[in-house]
Amino acid sequence: MDEAIPNQAGAAGAFTPPTAEQVQAWIARHPMREASAWLRWGPWLVLGGAVLLMLVLDGAAALIVPWAAIAGLFIFAASRARSAASLGQRTVKLQEATMLRHYPVALRSAWRMLPDTVMNPALRSRVMGVMAVCLDQLRQYDAAMEVYDALLSDVPNGHPAGMELRVRRAIAALSADHLADADDALRRVRHQLEPHAGTPLGAGFTFAQLLQHVRTHHFADAVAMSPTLLDDLRPLGVEAGYGHALMALCFQEAGADAPAAQRWWDRATTLLPAAALVGRYPELAPMMEQDHA
């Protein structure tokens, strides 16, 4: 499975993201598991044995052997603490690489880190979240959906984190033209989103609706969203640029208002490079070509 992720020294052009099947197999190979019985009870057994030895041994052995056991126990505990801290730091760097849009590097690191997180649910979720975002941004939408499905299996129904994952999965499904799948996912969360207006979750749902209109060629319905779209997408930060670009396309396709289409495109390219917009949504290519005409 590792062959899906090239070596760090490999050329950027040689990067090959994992397929949906490889992602599914890798996650199944490294499921969450509890700590072994030795890790859970071993330290207490050692401590109990040390106390017992202090009671039954005589002379120098009564001091040396028990205290040596206790010292070993503290060394073991310190080593585990250092490993946990190191894993946490690696996860932070992983998320920083994702924020800097270094998606191949972040995906490769997350892939290799997943086996180290199987006994830490919080870190495992963060690492898998990075995998999903990177696969999504690299347009490996079916693979991203596999990660979202794995994350959703561990989230209770109705939990805000679950709603966010469903919205992200729906966006990936729309991007992969799985329109029925995406529509079903959006219907499941629509009635739960009212308390989340003005949040990244609410903004993500608005973007999903806009993308759904684009992919189903309901451009006039998308244009109807334009009066509030700037505020609705604001919580997404620079990622709102994708929504602005799609709205520009909708104005153009609907033949509604050419100056408005240009204004939306200008807003989009203020936030993100035109090449990045078209790289993620190829249907925006005419907007870029028109801008350069």
Q: What are 56-100's pLDDT values in tens digits?
A: 656 565 566 666 666 666 666 666 677 777 778 888 888 898 888
Residue pair 106/94 in contact by the 8 Å Cβ criterion: yes
pLDDT greater than 50 at residue 2:
no
**Domain extent listing, the chain:** 1-154, 178-293
Q: What is the dihedral of CA 87, 91, 93, 99, to 10 degrees?
A: 180
What does the alpha-carbon distance between residue 165 and residue 265 come to, in Å, rounded to a whole number?
28
CATH class for the region spanning 178-293: mainly alpha
pLDDT greater than 50 at residue 129:
yes
What does the alpha-carbon distance between residue 87 and residue 92 come to, in Å, rounded to a whole number?
9
Q: Tell me the CA distances in angstroms from 240 to 68, 96, 209, 224, one per residue in order.
A: 60, 20, 13, 17
pLDDT greater than 50 at residue 204:
yes
Report pLDDT for 16. 82
Report pLDDT for 67. 63
Tell me the DSSP string of the chain: -GGGS--TTS-GGG--PPPHHHHHHHHHHS---PPPHHHHHHHHHHHHHHHHHHHH--TTHHHHHHHHHHHHHHHHHHHHHHHHHHHHHHHHHHHHHHHTT-HHHHHHHHHHHGGGGTT-HHHHHHHHHHHHHHHHHTT-HHHHHHHHHHHHTTS-TT-HHHHHHHHHHHHHHHHTT-HHHHHHHHHHHHTT-GGGTTSHHHHHHHHHHHHHHHHTT-HHHHHTTHHHHHHHHGGGGGGHHHHHHHHHHHHHHHTS-HHHHHHHHHHHHHHS-HHHHHHH-GGGHHHHHHHH-
Average pLDDT value over all residues in the chain: 83
**Residues 242-288: pLDDT tens digits?**
999 999 999 999 886 788 999 999 999 999 999 999 999 999 998 88
What whole-number percentage of the chain has pLDDT above 90? 48
138 phi and psi angles, rounded to 5 deg: -85, 10
pLDDT greater than 50 at residue 4:
no
Position 237 confidence tier, pLDDT thresholds 50, 70, 90:
very high
Report pLDDT for 223. 95
User: Is pLDDT larger for residue 45 or for residue 188?
Assistant: 188
What would the mean pLDDT of 165-181 be, rounded to a whole number? Answer: 93
pLDDT greater than 50 at residue 139:
yes
How deeply is 189 buried, as exposed, middle or buried, from its count of CB atoms within 10 A (0-12, 13-18, 19+)? buried
188 phi and psi angles, rounded to 5 deg: -70, -25
Position 8 confidence tier, pLDDT thresholds 50, 70, 90:
very low
What would the mean pLDDT of 101-110 be, rounded to a whole number? Answer: 91
What does the alpha-carbon distance between residue 76 and residue 146 come to, in Å, rounded to a whole number?
37
Q: Tell me the CA distances in angstroms from 156 to 165, 169, 178, 197, one per residue in order.
A: 12, 16, 25, 21
Report pLDDT for 127. 92
pLDDT greater than 70 at residue 45:
no
Q: What is the dihedral of CA 282, 231, 218, 147, to 10 degrees?
A: 60
Model confidence, pTM: 0.76
Report pLDDT for 193. 78
**Nearest one of 73, 71, 53, 72 to 63, comparing CA atoms:** 53
Tokens of 17: 């993201």
What whole-number percentage of the chain has pLDDT above 70? 76
